[in-house]
Structure 1
Amino acid sequence: MNTRWICSLVVLWCCSFSAIAQPKTAYDFVVAQDGSGNFTTVQEALNAVPDFRKATTTIFIKNGVYKEKLNLSSSKHLVTLIGESVANTILTYNDWAQKKNIFGEEKGTSGSSSFYVYGPQFTAQNITFQNTAGPVGQAVALFVAGDKARFINCRMLGFQDTLYTYGYASRQYYYKCYIEGTVDFIFGSATAVFEDCEIFCKKAGYVTAASTPDSTQYGYVFLNTRIHGDAPENSFYLGRPWRPYAKTVFINCDLGKQIKPEGWHNWNKSDAEKTSFYAEYQSKGLGANNNARVKWSHQLTAKEVSENYTLEKIFNGWKPME
């Protein structure tokens, strides 16, 4: 047999084996403003995800400030965004509620968001979500409606209404995230857990404004989270009821001096005191003051916490870290 021909076969075989043995890249798409990736904008990458795909689509976003009004539609399933670094991968826009659209109409709170997440089973990691409109009223940085949404090591930056947890059927998990704002800066009707997070209070206001439906057992649950800020002492309530059946619970949280002794506000709705559920368990820090809390709030027992506030119980079987 011709030696040159044998060598060619060996080379071809080695190349074929190499191609098979090569592991699949960790990312399906790369977004880079300098043109070194598949796309230069985040929205282009989101649009490229096949509708109703049954496998995860992973998008890596290189460092940069991406000023885009973003929308992940409900047909885009199992999308994962991974930033190069949480401090330098920034998705931002600057709309606000009173800003006029092209018809001269106000955009409203929902219309002010920088990023809309409607697709189910969305994950974001190492990304900053930002609204730079400033203290001009409602200006949402992140609007999350899709079910089983996860945010890991992310930042949500804004003033009033920073994070909109939209949708009573939506389950959302925030792990080691940083969220800042002033009035009602975590608000909405979703069931959301904030674990090992940092909540930063600016100026004065309310940390939460839940609108939990009466048919939903859990609203907001904060686990092992630190609430502090540069706001003055006694300038923040833990929450107030946007809707009558609001539910918000703080478990093993470190509360800064910014938290008012009474803890909770009824939004001038005396009836909401009977229907809302506001509770704490083993709060600590300068803002922890069990004896001064409003009479219609609750202090949970160890048994209540262990039986009712596991992730699996809160999320009705969904295990967000698996």
Structure 2
Amino acid sequence: MIVAQDSTGQFTTIQAAVDSLPKNNRQTITIQIKEGIYEEKLVIDKPNITIESIGRDKVIITFGDYARRIQKNGEEMGTFGSYTSLITGDNFSAKNVTFQNHAGPGSIVGQALAVYVDADRISFENCSFLGNQDTVFTGPLPPKPMKGDRFGGPRDGLVRTVGRSYFKNCYIEVDVDFIFGSATSVFHQCEIFCLDRSMDVNGYLTAASTPEDTKFGYVFIDCHLTSNAAPNTVYLGRPWRNYAKTAFINCWMGSHIKEEGWHNWNKPEAEKTTCYAEYNSYGPGGNMDRRVRWAKQLTEEEAKEYSIKTILGNWKNEC
């Protein structure tokens, strides 16, 4: 299936190609996309779909919804309605595609998701994710709201199943809490770029809400953490829920990473339940000697447990 804005394919929009497939699609379908900026609020709610750019064509999927947008009913859209792309079909993959939310700075518009992923066996390869506040959400939503949460959105009220996702050689750019949620997700050889907000606390790379009975949350392997922010202004993570799990394995960290590494989100009790771990962090921000006392420094033997195969199971046993 080919999507092309100049009508040289079967479809001129990505959504039209997805909509043409049966609801319970069982055949692996590849949607090839020709170069262009596709202004679409994309919903991929069918399984076994791959989207990819054709050759080296530059494909950007972009939209500008945001949490503070007032809807027709007079209410704000909220975080989870602000997505550019919503992916709820299992066995989805994307290659060489940029997902963008162009709504603007979070200080003005609030949260604005580039992708909302709530499915199992999801992979992104050579993709970019561009936004400001809360760029990448990997669901499901936590089971119970806490103070400050405003759930709503397209998946509210549905059965929550923890999915797995794999990001390979991707670029993620944003400022506050920009990778957040409950999923088990591996970020492998990715660049995570933190935008400068010129603040003492410039941002938090992660805000995991890992369920208590889930062994792995967010795992970063051989990644580069970069930024144009001032030194010592960005935390590696803070716990959206008390049992948050996040690990950095063999990652290069720029000087923007705060010496203490992790924040408890003003929840001292979370220090006893979170699992924030590092192994062989290096670079200007990779000094683990000054991390908070409740973070964990993995031994070489412990770090071996954080293999892609162990984390994601047979789905990614080729890695």
When the two structures are superposed, what TM-score results if normalisation uses the length of structure 2? 0.89
Structure 1 stretches of at least 4 aligned residues deviating more than 4 Å after TM superposition: none
Partner of 1:194, secondary structure, is strand
AA of the residue aligned to 1:151: F
Residue aligning to 2:26: 54
Bigger shift: 80-89 or 250-259? 80-89
Bigger shift: 42-51 or 150-159? 42-51
Deviation at 1:320, TM superposition (A): 6.5
> Aligned partners of 2:278 and 2:294: how far apart in 1?
12
> Aligned partners of 2:21 and 2:53: how far apart in 1?
17
> Aligned partners of 1:182 and 1:46: how far apart in 2?
31
Is 1:34 the counterpart of 2:11? The answer is: no
Residue aligning to 2:316: 319
Residue aligning to 2:303: 305
CA contact (8 A) 1:86 1:128 kept: no
Larger RCO (alpha carbons 8 Å, 6+ apart): 2
**Pairing of 1:188-207 with structure 2 (within 5 A):** 188-203=181-196, 204-207=202-205
Deviation at 1:53, TM superposition (A): 2.2
Deviation at 1:30, TM superposition (A): 0.4
User: Over residues 264-283 of structure 1, what are the superposed CA-to-partner deviations in whole Å (9 max), with x where a residue is unaligned?
Assistant: 00000000000001010000
Residue aligning to 2:147: none
Return 5+ residue gaps in structure 2 as ranges.
Answer: 141-160, 197-201
Partner of 2:12, secondary structure, is coil
CA contact (8 A) 2:34 2:57 kept: no
Counterparts in 2 of 1:320 and 1:178: CA distance versus 1, 3 Å: farther
Counterparts in 2 of 1:212 and 1:142: CA distance versus 1, 3 Å: same
Deviation at 1:54, TM superposition (A): 1.9
Deviation at 1:88, TM superposition (A): 2.1
Partner of 1:239, secondary structure, is coil
Over aligned residues, Cα RMSD in angstroms?
1.3
> Aligned partners of 2:89 and 2:56: how far apart in 1?
22
> Match for 1:143 among 111, 116, 126?
116
Counterparts in 2 of 1:31 and 1:321: CA distance versus 1, 3 Å: farther
**The structure with more radius of gyration:** 1
Deviation at 1:318, TM superposition (A): 2.1
AA of the residue aligned to 1:63: E
Residue aligning to 1:109: 79
Bigger shift: 59-68 or 312-321? 312-321
Deviation at 1:146, TM superposition (A): 1.1
Deviation at 1:291, TM superposition (A): 1.1
> Aligned partners of 2:309 and 2:111: how far apart in 1?
33
Deviation at 1:235, TM superposition (A): 1.1
Residue aligning to 1:78: 48
> Match for 1:265 among 263, 269, 289?
263
AA of the residue aligned to 2:8: S
AA of the residue aligned to 1:94: G
**Pairing of 1:164-175 with structure 2 (within 5 A):** 164-167=137-140, 169-175=162-168
Partner of 1:284, secondary structure, is coil
User: Over residues 206-232 of structure 1, what are the superposed CA-to-partner deviations in whole Å (9 max), with x where a residue is unaligned?
Assistant: 000001010111000000000011111
Q: Identity of paired residues, percent?
A: 51
Deviation at 1:84, TM superposition (A): 3.0
Deviation at 1:186, TM superposition (A): 0.5
Partner of 1:318, secondary structure, is helix
Deviation at 1:312, TM superposition (A): 1.9
Structure having the higher helix fraction is: 1
Residue aligning to 2:92: 122
> Aligned partners of 1:200 and 1:208: how far apart in 2?
12
